[in-house]
Amino acid sequence: MSALLEITDATKVFGGVRAVDGASLSVGANTITALIGPNGSGKTTLFNLITGYLRPDRGRVQFAGRDVTGMDAGSLYRRGLSRTFQQARVFPQLSVQENLVVAGGYTWRQLFTRRVSSSDRNRAGQLLAEFNLAPVADLLASELSYGQRKLLEFAAVLMSDPKLVLLDEPTAGVNPVMIDTMERHVRDRHAAGITFLIVEHDMSFVMRLCDPVIVLDQGKPIFSGRPSDVQTNPLVLDAYLGS
Amino acid sequence: MSKALRLSALRGAAFFGLLAALPSFNLAHWVLNMLVFTLMYAAMSSAWNLVGGFTGYPSLGHAAFFGVGAYAVALWFQHHAIHSGYEPFVILPLVGVLAGLIGLPVAAVAMRTRADVFAIVTITLLFVAQTLAFNLHSITHGAQGLSIDPAPFSPATFERPFYYVLVGLLALAMGITYLTIKSKVGLSLASIRADEDKARGIGVRVSGLKLLTFCVSVGLTSMVGGVWAYYEGFVYPQFAFDPLITISIVLMTFLGGRGTLWGPILGAFVLELSQQNLAYRLGGSQFYLIAYALVFLLIMLLLPRGILPTIQDRLRYRRRRAGAAEGDDRPSAPAPRTAAAKVAVGGGERA
Ligand SMILES: Nc1ncnc2c1ncn2[C@@H]1O[C@H](COP(=O)(O)OP(=O)(O)O)[C@@H](O)[C@H]1O
Ligand SMILES: [Mg+2]
């Protein structure tokens, strides 16, 4: 199993807080890898380092065989590295359909073409149908429920045909039906060849869906292995229960 | 042609047809003079709206580029003669490009900041520009100002050439705005306005689009400044780089509706016509400034998004309630916002 994403010795310090502290880990191609850990263990910060939202103070990020350390978020997105946010971020004053279209990763030339062309409509339409958002395609994103917004954000980052998708707490704040829906979409897209790295607190979701599981504590991975081994590992128990 | 497109074409044709016909009604000079100033403000508000409305960067420095345009024309005609009277209009595109180029480094620095900080950085720019105009004596003649040879137009129809050139500039600004709205540029700008960091992360060309929009916007603004300088026949630092110009175009755009095609034009016509009217009737006093302050307060309290977006919301809300009352089978789901609903009010992002 080759690594699609490889992080070596990544470090990020905020003031005195070592949010990510010399972390090395890798995400194998075609896996659904979980990244878990107590609150404040640096999961979101690690996502920001990987996706170009933050520059690491030290360390390297390699994606699809290339060193992408310090590359900006937009370029990474165009290269096939997408992410969602812990608090779903959509554009409230754009329609649901436009939220997808705007994420198409356009060239300068394409920017001067129609706002929503018929081919955009087709492309977005397929994703909208897949995510069951077609009936609300013309509503403003601000009119969606929070769960629907999470789905929309997920669907939108698929517009660039990503190789790797990072989901930051996809089930946080959504109802149980929506959690199942989310799981189904990850499975479908995984079957279609996308690799996932998922931060999640819902352990049953992680156990059902993810393999392997990486546990982060105080900015460093303390465990990486099969989901069945994670809950019996003394280091992990220690991290969650506090020492 | 789609129904929506036909309607906006009709609206545009009616508006510009009316503007083109107005001077043939033998209007008094003071009325034409008032219209000339109204068109200046409409064109500048429309241009400002690209940056302040669609992109969400509240520039208070646009008057600096108005001044750049005014001085560019004045300086050019210190060394070149005016024969036919149309020469200053011919060099306007050059003036626009020059101001756009000056705007490039300005935007590259200023647009690293956002919101209130951006507003303060840009208004500082305006005062820097004014100070330069006062102090670069050898070029600008400082407080003495520069004069331009008067236009050799017949006194009976003196305002007309200026009027029509300004109609052209307004059409240009609105045309650019319309194309922006209808293209992925406008879609991208809307994402920048809503959440710039998120937009960056989904491959929107944030930095490039901000620069482009700013340069186009200040280029248009400078061309209006050039026409103004020629119309007045002189430029002084305190009038060419006047914070009141900035305040007015911001206020007009806020009043009509930021981020809409027609909002800034509506705002400019309402405010400038009433202000000029008052000035003409009451004599040139500064009392209108108090009225401006009041208008601004009232807008912020009653119509925080401006006239057009507020009407649009009302209509949508009504349509939705009408839909629910008709026993729509999705009573809890809001009625889809159709293109036709947008067009009905004229001036939405997609109008
Ligand atoms: N932008 C920031 N500025 C300062 N401190 C931050 C910032 N982002 C995260 N932190 C700190 O870094 C640590 C890790 O945070 P985070 O990555 O959000 O953890 P997690 O996602 O695992 O809950 C926390 O102590 C948090 O307070
Ligand atoms: Mg987090």
Atom of ligand 1 nearest to the CA of A15: 4
| pLDDT recorded at residue B285 | 67
ipTM above 0.90, yes or no: yes
**Could you tell me the two tokens for A147?**
């769960």
- Do A212 and A225 contact (CB within 8 A), yes or no? yes
- Residues A128, A232, single domain; the answer is no
* Boundary (domain end) residue, out of A107, A134, A161: A161
B338 in contact with chain A, both atoms CB, cutoff 8 A: yes
- Least Cα distance to A86 among A180, A166, A182 occurs for A166
Given a cut of 50, whether residue B335 has pLDDT beyond it is: no
Task: CATH number of the domain at A62, please.
Answer: 3.40.50.300
Question: What's the domain range around A139?
Answer: 89-161
Inter-chain touch B204–A102, beta carbons under 8 Å: yes
In angstroms, the CA B206 to CA B121 distance is 20
* Boundary (domain end) residue, out of A161, A189, A214: A161
Residues belonging to chain B: 351
> Within chain A, what is the greatest distance between any pair of CA atoms?
58
Given a cut of 60, whether residue B348 has pLDDT beyond it is: no
Question: Which of chain B's residues have a Cβ under 8 Å away from the Cβ of A98?
Answer: 187, 190
- Residues A65, A118, single domain; the answer is no
| Angle subtended at Cα B183 by Cα B179 and Cα B189, rounded to the nearest 5 degrees | 100
- Residues A147, A110, single domain; the answer is yes
| pLDDT recorded at residue B1 | 60
In angstroms, the CA B21 to CA B204 distance is 43
Return the DSSP state at B30. Answer: H
Question: What ranges make up the beta strands (E) of chain A?
Answer: 3-14, 17-28, 32-36, 58-63, 66-67, 81-83, 164-168, 195-199, 213-217, 220-225
The CB density around residue A157, as the number of other CB atoms within 10 Å, is 22
- The model's pTM: 0.91
- Residues A54, A12, single domain; the answer is yes
- Residues A100, A2, single domain; the answer is no
The CB density around residue B88, as the number of other CB atoms within 10 Å, is 25
- Residues A14, A75, single domain; the answer is yes
Is B92 exposed, middle or buried, given 0-12, 13-18 or 19+ CB atoms closer than 10 A? Answer: buried
- Residues A93, A108, single domain; the answer is yes
Query: How many angstroms separate the first and last alpha carbons of chain B?
Result: 14
pLDDT band at B326 (very low <50, low <70, confident <90, very high): low
| pLDDT recorded at residue A1 | 54
**Could you tell me the two tokens for B16?**
């510009």
| pLDDT recorded at residue B341 | 37
- Residues A152, A181, single domain; the answer is no
- Residues A108, A142, single domain; the answer is yes
Inter-chain touch B183–A112, beta carbons under 8 Å: yes
- Residues A189, A153, single domain; the answer is no
Residues belonging to chain A: 243
**How many Cα atoms occupy the beta-carbon half-sphere of B219 within 13 Å?**
19
- A152-196 per-position pLDDT tens digit: 999 999 999 999 999 999 999 999 999 999 999 999 999 999 999
| Average of per-residue pLDDT across A58-84 | 96
Q: In the predicted model, what is the mean pLDDT of chain B?
A: 89
- Do B129 and B67 contact (CB within 8 A), yes or no? yes
Count of A-B CB contacts under 8 Å: 100
Residue of A nearest to B203 (CA): A74
Inter-chain touch A115–B200, beta carbons under 8 Å: no
* Boundary (domain end) residue, out of A131, A161, A191: A161
- B154-167 per-position pLDDT tens digit: 999 999 999 999 99
- Residues A122, A171, single domain; the answer is no
What total number of domains does chain A contain?
2
Within the 82-101 window of chain A, which residues sit less than 8 Å (CB to CB) from chain B? 82-83, 85, 89, 91-95, 98, 101
Given a cut of 60, whether residue B205 has pLDDT beyond it is: yes
- Residues A1, A117, single domain; the answer is no
| Average of per-residue pLDDT across B309-317 | 85
